[in-house]
């Protein structure tokens, strides 16, 4: 795990979601953060517990399973790894190998993070330190707020129509 990410995780960890919220990671593509820029490693956790690991477009099929203890077991190419959730939200997914907090997997959702995980985590840390434990820019949270506001405006318009007609 990158040293910078190890240092920032304790400051944002309290705002992590639980792995039981499968909708946060299932059915989405997660890009593995690594220093080797020549390799693009992408994981997709499917609803049927199939795991697709793609390395530069070469796909390997495996499985994933969420244990009752909250740990995640992934199996690809006859290798199984038990992982513990360190941080999960809509943009970042950080796991450590069970029993070894120094090694793990760091993923980001390319749609939300836009290929800059460090900037995303810094933005998240800043919003938390300013007392706003909300998601950084480009999140679904903003869309939700807009939709709620639109719904309120529509309800007011409907009430006005009912009252005056």
Spatial neighbors of 1 by CB under 8 A, at least 6 apart, are: 94, 96, 102, 103, 104, 106
- The sign of the CA dihedral 158, 160, 163, 165 is negative
For the stretch 17-51, pLDDT in tens is 888 889 989 999 999 987 666 788 999 999 999 99
For the stretch 78-103, pLDDT in tens is 899 999 999 898 888 999 999 887 78
pTM: 0.69
> CATH for 3-133?
2.40.128.640
CA atoms of 75 and 85, how far apart (whole Å): 16
Q: Where are the domains of the chain?
A: 3-133, 135-165
Alpha helices in the chain, H assignment, sequence order: 3-12, 110-113, 117-129, 140-164
For the stretch 50-81, pLDDT in tens is 999 999 999 999 999 999 999 999 999 889 99
């Amino acid at each position: 795990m990158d040293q910078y990410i190890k240092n920032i995780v304790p400051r944002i960890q309290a705002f992590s979601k639980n792995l039981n919220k499968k909708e946060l990671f299932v059915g989405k593509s997660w890009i593995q953060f690594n220093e080797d820029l020549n390799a693009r490693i992408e994981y997709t956790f499917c609803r049927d517990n199939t795991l697709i690991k793609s390395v530069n477009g070469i796909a390997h099929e495996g499985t994933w399973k969420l244990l009752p203890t909250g740990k995640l077991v992934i199996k690809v190419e006859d290798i199984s790894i038990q992982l513990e959730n360190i941080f999960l939200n809509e943009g970042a997914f950080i796991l450590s190998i069970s029993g070894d907090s120094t090694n793990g997997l760091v993923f980001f959702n390319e749609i939300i993070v836009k290929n800059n995980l460090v900037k995303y985590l810094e933005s998240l840390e800043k919003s938390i330190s300013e007392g706003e434990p909300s998601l950084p820019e480009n999140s679904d949270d903003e869309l939700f707020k807009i939709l709620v506001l639109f719904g309120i405006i529509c309800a007011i318009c409907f009430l006005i129509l009912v009252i005056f007609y």
